[in-house]
Amino acid sequence: MGKKVLVLGEMRDGALRNVSFEALAAGRTIANDGEVVGVLIGETVASQGQELIAYGADRVVVVEDEKLKHYSSDGFAQAFLAVVEAEGPEGIVFGHTALGKDLSPRIAGKLGSGLISDVTSLEGEGDDVVFVRPIYSGKAFEKKMVKEGIVFATIRPNNIAPLEKDASRSGKVITLSAEIKDLRTIIKDVVRKATEGVDLSEAKVVIAGGRGVKSEDGFKPLQELADVLGGAVGASRGACDAEYCDYSLQIGQTGKVVTPDLYIACGISGAIQHLAGMSNSKVIVAINKDPEANIFKVADYGIVGDLFEVIPLLTEEFKKL
């Protein structure tokens, strides 16, 4: 039997994040022949409704309020719960992003539902859908099914392929008026650190540097390679602790989790806490001087050598392609 599934469209800098389209694909699998309803929350977000429809939403519900200009768990929870009340969904999907990780437990708590977080793939569809998620820092996978209540899942970015965009799809974009009241925290402004280039958590290629990079300047060849490959630069905590780069680049158990198509680890030993953030990458290349480094155990391709010699050679070769 088909289900009605709500999928949150997550915005960043005025545009929908890719994970929103991946969440729509997951929503479609859960809904089976039911209905996928996109949800947009913000100050002025309705203009993105058609984009959600092009990627698979049957229609879109928008909640707009000046109090929702910046994300707050309180404000977004009120808005999302108003949509739940109006729509009565049987399924909900968010991206497993900082926002999704913050908002989903609050919504699940209010609804008294379960929550399957950090899903990397779905098997089957409709009532028989099985959610696959990594456990023990990615060392094993568990499979879960929901037998009763709302099917609520967050999906890890870069793991579930979005449906093909079809700009000719049509569907309604309706606005729901919801009163956002008594916010405990009012976010006045968000000042972002200036970051350039590709978003690390959604990047298809990640060039990550560790303590072996040796200095802030040591990251420059990594950035050059990332630019040539259209990727993003990441780091181990070792590199962040040594102040070679900002903590926003940290990948691992206490940093970001990434699943790019290609992960190149440069001067990273491969501690378990680092592997927790990258071991599910599709292809892993490790560059390390030490042939015994643990990173080689998870690498598909290993290069034993000095990263300051190897990376410029790779960059030159990729430039020729």
Q: 4 or 308: whose CB is closer to ligand FAD?
A: 308
The rounded Cα 181 to chain-centroid distance in angstroms is 29
- By CB under 6 A, which span of 22-30, 82-90, 144-152, 304-312 interacts with ligand FAD? 304-312
- Is 265 one of the annotated binding-site residues? no
Q: 36 or 268: whose CB is closer to ligand FAD?
A: 268
Number of Cβ within 10 Å of residue 304's Cβ equals: 14
Q: In the bound complex, what is the minimum distance in angstroms from residue 231's beta carbon to ligand FAD?
A: 18
Distances 155 to 27, 42, 147, 267, 275 between C-alpha atoms, Å: 10, 21, 19, 30, 19
Q: Distance between CA 2 and CA 163 in Å, rounded? A: 18
Rule CB under 6 A: is residue 201 a binding residue for ligand FAD? no
Query: What part of residues 202-221 is at the interface with ligand FAD (CB under 6 A)?
Result: 210-212
Q: Which of 222, 239, 249, 286 binds ligand FAD (CB under 6 A)?
A: 239
- Fill in the DSSP letter of residue 210: -
For residue 243, the number of C-alpha atoms closer than 13 Å in the C-beta half-sphere is 0
Residues 6+ apart with CB under 8 A from 177: none
Q: Which of 237, 284, 314, 315 binds ligand FAD (CB under 6 A)?
A: 237
- Is 270 one of the annotated binding-site residues? yes
- Is 269 one of the annotated binding-site residues? yes
- By CB under 6 A, which span of 5-13, 72-80, 161-169, 301-309 interacts with ligand FAD? 301-309
The rounded Cα 122 to chain-centroid distance in angstroms is 16
Give the binding site for ligand FAD (CB under 6 A). 210-212, 236-239, 250-255, 267-269, 271, 273-274, 277, 287-290, 293, 306-308
